[in-house]
Amino acid sequence: MSTRFAERVAGSGTVVVDVRTPAEFAQGHLPGAVNLDLQSADFQQQLGELDPDARYAVYCQSGNRSAQALATMVELGFTDVAHLEGGIGAWQGADLPVVTG
């Protein structure tokens, strides 16, 4: 797990985005994360409501969906986006905090 990602998440002003399903999100997510399901029909519309100039930290279960989301965000003009390689599994493996609900 990248310490750079953890530093990004801890930084003020960073929007943490979980791109897993709502059910996965409820089972455990990073503190302060918002859930935008990559697989939902309106994912790009939801992204369109975000500030493309803000700082984002994007993650999923294993890193695959977040990599897809990152590519989509870059295509849509987002300028400061990073994703968590290894996903929330790597985050938990590094004993970093997760919240449920």
- Which residues participate in catalysis according to the annotation? 60
Q: Rounded to whole angstroms, what are the CA distances from 59 to 62, 86?
A: 8, 9
| Cβ 15 vs Cβ 50: under 8 Å | yes
Residue 52 carries which DSSP code? T
Count other C-beta atoms under 10 Å from residue 82's C-beta: 18
